[in-house]
Amino acid sequence: MRIALDTRCYIGFCRGNEDVVRVIQEAERVFLPLMVLAELRAGFLCGTRSQENEATLTRFLNSPRVEVLYPEEQTTHHYARLFYQLRKQGTPIPTNDLWIAALVVHHDLVLCARDQHFDHLPQLPRL
């Protein structure tokens, strides 16, 4: 299985959450969306263990099964459709999470996420 992680799942992995650790260990490939990477690094700078957290992230990113996932022009079409759907439903979600959802749909991934607002996108495969 090819998965994408949201910020809370990466944090759960680092904290040893058994369910998240198992999912990541069993995944064929693990993708970390660029937005997640930015959120993590912003959080590191606001915390007291910035260097330690950055070192852990670097080790994670250096795994041959892990790849940073960047939006492309085609991703914007998925973003626009999801944005429109959420707006029609009256269930907007944070912008970074909308980008994450667009990347998951674009690359046909399964999202490892703990945020319930992704429930508003039933077409989004989730763990």
What is the CATH number for 107? 3.40.50.1010
Does residue 126 fall inside a structural domain?
no
Q: Is residue 115 over pLDDT 90?
A: no
Q: How many domains does the chain have?
A: 1
Q: Is residue 114 over pLDDT 90?
A: no
Coil, helix or strand at residue 76 = helix
User: HSE on the CB side for 41, CA within 13 Å?
Assistant: 9
Dihedral sign for Cα 38, 43, 44, 45, please: positive
Tokens of 95: 């912008």
Identity of residue 108: D
Gyration radius (Cα) of the chain, Å: 14
Coil, helix or strand at residue 30 = strand
Tokens of 36: 């997640």
Does residue 125 fall inside a structural domain?
no
Does residue 127 fall inside a structural domain?
no
Please indicate, yes or no, whether the overall pTM of this predicted structure exceeds 0.75: yes
Tens of pLDDT along 18-59? 999 999 999 999 999 999 999 999 999 999 999 999 999 999
**Neighbour-count burial of 99, counting CB atoms closer than 10 A to its CB (0-12 exposed, 13-18 middle, 19+ buried):** buried
Boundaries of domain holding 7: 2-120
